[in-house]
Amino acid sequence: MTVKAKWLGVVMALLLVMGAAAGCAGKGQTKTGQGEQPGGLSGTINIAGSTSVQPLSEELADAFMKKNPAVKINVAGGGSSAGIKAAQDGAADIGASSRELKPEEKGTVQEFMIAKDGIAVIVHPSNGVSALTIDQIRRIFAGEITNWKEVGGKDAPINVFTREEGSGTRGAFEEIVMGKDKKITGKAGVQNATGAVRTAVERDENAIGYISLGSLNEKVKALAVDGVKPSEEAVLNGTYKISRPFLYLTKGAPTGVVKAYIDFVLGPEGQKIVGEKYVPVRK
- What domains lie within the chain, and their CATH numbers? 3-116+246-274 (3.40.190.10), 117-243 (3.40.190.10)
pTM of the predicted model, to two decimals? 0.69
pLDDT, the chain, mean: 88
Kindly report the number of other CB atoms within 10 A of residue 192's CB atom.
16
Q: What are phi and psi of 84, to 5 degrees?
A: -60, -45
For residues 195 and 107, the answer to whether their CB atoms sit within 8 Å is no
**Rounded mean pLDDT of 264-272?**
97
Distance CA 27, CA 158 (A): 57
- In this prediction, residue 28 carries a pLDDT of 32
- In this prediction, residue 8 carries a pLDDT of 55
* Cα–Cα nearest to 249, from 46, 94, 25: 94
Distance CA 124, CA 127 (A): 5
Residue that wins the pLDDT comparison between 6 and 20:
6
Residue 242 clears pLDDT 50, i.e. is over it? yes
**By mean pLDDT, which of 8-12, 74-78, 221-225, 252-256 is the weakest?**
8-12
- The model's confidence at residue 25, banded by pLDDT at 50, 70 and 90, is very low
- In this prediction, residue 22 carries a pLDDT of 39
Q: What is the dihedral of CA 247, 29, 88, 79, to 10 degrees?
A: 50
- In this prediction, residue 10 carries a pLDDT of 55
- In this prediction, residue 5 carries a pLDDT of 53
Distance CA 213, CA 233 (A): 12
**Rounded mean pLDDT of 195-210?**
98
Residue 84 clears pLDDT 90, i.e. is over it? yes
Q: To which H or E segment does residue 190 belong?
A: strand 189-191
Residue ranges in the chain assigned as alpha helix (H)? 3-23, 54-67, 80-89, 134-141, 168-173, 194-202, 232-237, 256-266, 268-274
Task: State pLDDT tens for residues 128-148.
Answer: 999 999 999 999 999 999 999
**Rounded mean pLDDT of 170-187?**
94
**Rounded mean pLDDT of 48-73?**
96
Distance CA 53, CA 214 (A): 10
For residues 52 and 191, the answer to whether their CB atoms sit within 8 Å is no
- The model's confidence at residue 11, banded by pLDDT at 50, 70 and 90, is low
Angle at 272 between CA 100 and CA 168, to 5 degrees: 20
- As a whole-number percent, the residues of the chain with pLDDT over 90 amount to 73
- As a whole-number percent, the residues of the chain with pLDDT over 70 amount to 86
Kindly report the number of other CB atoms within 10 A of residue 244's CB atom.
26
